[in-house]
Structure 1
Amino acid sequence: MNSLFLFAGLFTGFASETPSPPGTGIPPVLTVKAARALAPGSTVTIRAVVLNGPEMGNIRYVQDADAGLALYAQPAKTPGFGELHAGDSIQVTGQLKVYNGLTEMDPIASFHKLASGVRVRALQVPVERATEAFVEANESRLLEIKGVTRLTMPTGTVATTLAGNSNYLLNGQVGGLVRIMAASTGPEGLVDATPPTSEAFDVRGVLSQFAPSGVGGYQLMPRLATDMVRGGGLPRLTEEPVPVNVTGNGFTVVFSTLNPGDTRVRYGLDPKQLKDSQTDPTLTTRHSLPLTNLIPGTTYYVEVSSRNATGTETASPVPFITGSGKRVRLGGKN
């Protein structure tokens, strides 16, 4: 792969192939690349990280450090499969097949989850070179196309609202196909979402293939609305922090960011010496963190920040005041 294509790899590495003890009958654990090299009909066992959840229907794409693979199963026939989400590390055994050019595991004989919350960083590709990355070696891997300015419909019209089971082109490039899945719905979904039109953005997704002839047909499949990455991927604060649920001994700090990140709050009585801090590691765009055990009727200076894999955004400290701590009786005598 050309050096312009920047692959940061997994946050947690994968071991090489793991042989089984002689005579046990247990299949060895292969790397995904080694499994893909075998013929259709072969039964293989791999360990990899899941790249998507039910927003892509009955298919789960998985990836290790070097390659990706599609897994297909009907949740009713494979208990637990439908609950797999992005970041789940699994060991899975099944049979290889090729479906319209896409190498996949179907049927799945067994699987079990090893861990959750594992992060996979995408293969980063400038939009001018996108079609060069749409190749078999990258099938079922997570890609991030950088510097996109528009998604167009095949007719050339700029897309302003995304529809399910529809195709779009990266900057109108022939061969730079983006496919929106009908199952990606709801507040976090892509169906009915509005792609950015006034700024450059990045498009993250899994490279899939649909080609009855087995040749070409590569398509980038974003998963959720957060795969339309704006602001260079940094959290980017979009609302100033404000206090809610104010009481005599505390308040809840709330703020919003453009892209998901964790929630960090530093606070104290002196804006130059913020001695206390709290963190919520959950990645979100709607941040909320309660501060308790504070002094009633006192001004606290609060600094909020958010961090994700791209970097950290921090706002300047702002003053919040706790309540007086006095209880007021409504009606009758005090």
Structure 2
Amino acid sequence: MRSTLLSCVLFLTTTAIAQTPIATARTAALGTAVTVRGVITNGSELGGVRYIQDATGGLALFPGSGSVPGFNPTRGSDVTVTGTLKSYYGLLELDPISSFTVNSTSNPLPAPLEINPAQIGESNEAELVRLNGCQFTNGGATFTSNTWNFTSNGQSAVIFLRSGHPLIGTTIPAGPVDIIGITSQYSTATPPSGGYQVLPRDANDLLVSTMIAQTSAVVQTGILPDGFTLEWTTNIAGSSQVAYGITPALGNFTSSGGSSTVHAVPITGLQPATAYYARTFSVHDQDTAWSSLGLYSTASASPGTVKVHFNRPVDASVAIGTPASSLGNAIDDTVRAYIDRADLTVDYAVYNTTTSSIVSALNNARNRGVQVRVIAEGSNSNSALDGLNATIPVLLRTDGQGSGMHNKFIVIDAENGPAAHVLTGSTNCTNASFFVDANNLVVIQDQAMARCYRTEFEEMWGGAGPQPNTANSRFGSEKTDNTPHWFNVGGTLIESRFSPSDGTMDRIGMALSTADATIEFALFALTADELTLELIAAQANGVTVRGMLEEDDMSVSDLQALLNGNVDARPDGDPGSYLHHKYAIIDRAGPAALDPLVITGSHNWSYNAENLNDENTVFIHSAELADHFHQEWHARWTTAVGITETDADNGLSLWPNPVTTALNITWAMGDGPVECTVSDAAGRSVVHGTIAGSNVSLDLHALAPGTYFLMLQRADVRAVRRFVRR
């Protein structure tokens, strides 16, 4: 016993001596194992990384591969931690974490070091800092996951917000603020150089001054052919005014009377289907709070329409209203028919084209004197484009980033009023997309939308001319947010977003967060953790969330995360084709007050779609379209679950759940034989057989830990339950 106690004392003493001041640890060579002690200055709002600080400096801590489990200290925890020094894009961190001890919690944090932007750097990396009198470049806009520029004392710097950050979706302060945050670095240079940024942790790190400031994003309402209304709020009462015009120079002013914190200014006398630049502002005494410059469109002169077509069978038996349109193998004829109607222009931006009949339609249009312009992704075969008329110019994106030019849209006769159309959705112009894979085609007849999509096309094209201007052409991250976002199409409200410039992923997340009753999804790819978390959060809040993922492209870990969050998610169950959709239906079955909504387009729910690819997405606020998409969704869901669902649960009960070895099962299907199947999270059958009786015990000792589905089936009756094997 004496020897054991002595060994413990020696061990503890050695450990205490081995602790190194953080400033000293930062000077050690990469790959060195060090032990430091300090106070944690952030929590999960910055993801898995934690920052630790003592009296000498700060250091990042990341529990990467090979780390001990359970490293999740809270802000204010006093922690002793051992790990290996590593450079992550210039940020010095301990990774992996080999051991840690939480000595105490709820300790006061170090006082932020007051600096100016020019002082952000290696000397204070990973430390809490404060920058006073900061002005954001995009004040009045909405925070998304991105870097955001600000100035202070004539110097510039950036903050960075990761996906899922608490500030996402909130308004960027339009007036001066003091910023508190942790300095960090992200540099892709070799060796790392620059790339310093400040990481605010939540809204409490943006300290608004006592001057007037806008406290909400500008919202466009009342969209009409001759005008619209802009609405916003401020922290204190002020005037309600708008500067606007058809160029960024603005030049026109209007206002509504009185002084208030809630502002609404109608702008009238405008031209239909026209985009206007505008900045809202409010004045209090000698202070003025401005919004950032925004683009807002009027409605088209003639009311537009929105239709959706599907290329796979739909289930009209679940329709609330009219049956959905299933074109089957005629969907290519529909695309061709719209091109055949073109009188003036066709702007064609489609990821891949291998169907020769579409190229024939483009050639016929050109032979009629129609201006035809084509953009495609250079890494694809685009084999049918070889048959294009030699006078039709083609621009290929060739930088090799992500999926490149992944758009799927065609703009027809943008300057021909009632003939103006946008064709979009998930469909490429390939034989597989048209005739094999599950896809949707959205047809929008509306000049305002057509002009918006033409603007996006011409940003990639490099100008408005008939030939591409490669010197001015912009793809991917080089593009800017240069289009209006809200449209009134014949009474249907549509939001339009392009990627990577418009914060599409955040808008999808915000749309999911508005769900009151149901979310139904059908996705080719789901690898964006922030959207997985939104689906799980909706389920936890009482929303019924169900959906399918394309099995061949599915992330098993994301499916498992959904299942662990009690989301009823399945592989699509159709190995002969791709589930190529990228849609979600929100609150389809609720009353109109619940704002039924469909999200669709080219944008997979992935990192590449958000950050690298050229993508287009529409958010359609329509009970009719939500019902049509639900009919398509239900037909795919029937395939995914393997048999038509019934409302009865047939008395199926499982216990214990979670289970270790033996799962007890009772049901009310009678005493005859019942087919029993256990499937894993990826949809693979792992147990299959026939059982009899109404109360049995199933031996599951051979199953690996995880989430499983038990299905009992007799003839056309079945019952399914989820269980967890520990």
Q: TM-score range by the shorter chain?
A: 0.5 to 0.7
What secondary structure is seen at the aligned counterpart in 2 of 1:87? coil
**Aligned pair 1:218/2:196, yes or no?**
yes
Distance in 2 between residues matched to 1:121 and 1:98, nearest whole Å: 26
Q: Structure 1 unaligned segments of length 5 or more: list them.
A: 1-19, 233-237, 239-334
In structure 2, distance between residues paired with 1:227 and 1:75:
31
What is the rounded CA distance, in whole Å, between the counterparts of 1:229 and 1:75 in structure 2? 37
Kindly provide the amino acid, as one letter, of the partner of residue 41 in structure 2.
L
1:58 is displaced (CA, Å) by 1.3
Return closer, same or farther for 1:86/1:211 CA change in 2, 3 Å cut-off.
same
Deviation sequence 1:161-220 (CA, Å, 0-9, x none): 111133333359665111112231xxxx1111123324x321111000011331111001
Moved over 4 A (4+): 20-27, 74-77, 171-175
1:86 aligned residue (61, 72, 75): 75
Using the alignment, how far apart are the partners of 1:59 and 1:210 within structure 2? Answer: 14
Structure 1 residue aligned with 2:157: 176
Distance (Å, rounded) in 1 between the aligned partners of 2:104 and 2:14: 26
SS in 1 for 2:159: strand
Max radius of gyration: which structure? 2
| Residue 99 of structure 1: how far off its partner (Å) | 1.4
Question: For residues 171 and 194 of structure 1, what CA distance do their matches in structure 2 show?
Answer: 19
Map 1:1-334 onto structure 2 (within 5 A): 26=15, 28-74=18-64, 78-82=68-72, 84-119=73-108, 120-125=110-115, 129-131=116-118, 133-148=119-134, 150-152=135-137, 157-170=138-151, 175-184=156-165, 189-198=166-175, 200-213=176-189, 214-231=192-209
User: Take 2:19 and 2:66, find their aligned partners in 1: how far apart are those partners?
Assistant: 26
Does the CA contact (< 8 Å) of 1:165 and 1:179 recur in 2? yes
* Higher-RCO chain (CA-CA 8 Å, sequence separation at least 6): 1
CA distance in 2, matches of 1:95, 1:175: 33
Q: CA RMSD in A?
A: 2.8
- TM-score, normalising length: structure 2: 0.26
Q: Distance in 2 between matches of 1:86 and 1:76?
A: 24
Match of 1:268 in 2: none
What's the secondary structure of 1:96's corresponding residue?
Answer: strand
Partner SS for 2:114: strand
Residue 159 of structure 1 and its aligned partner are, at CA, apart by 4.9
Paired residues of 1:181 and 1:221 also in contact (CA < 8 A): no
Equivalent residue number for residue 3 of structure 1: none
SS in structure 2 at match of 1:176: strand
Q: CA distance change for structure 1 residues 76 and 99 in 2, over 3 Å: closer, same or farther?
A: closer
Confirm or deny: 8 A CA contact 2:58 2:125 kept in the other structure. yes
Q: What's the secondary structure of 2:24's corresponding residue? A: helix
Distance 2:182 2:12 in 1: 38
Gap change, CA 1:164 and 1:32, over 3 Å in 2:
same
Q: Is the 8 A contact 1:167 1:178 kept in 2?
A: yes
Aligned residues: 199
- Measured after TM superposition, the shift of residue 78 of structure 1 is 3.7
Normalising by structure 1, report the TM-score.
Answer: 0.54
Cα 1:23/1:92, change in 2 over 3 Å: closer
Distance apart, 1:44 and its partner CA:
0.5
Compared with structure 1, are the counterparts of its residues 104 and 161 closer, same or farther at alpha carbon in structure 2 (3 Å cutoff)? same
- The amino acid that maps onto 1:151 is F
Q: Identity of paired residues, percent?
A: 32
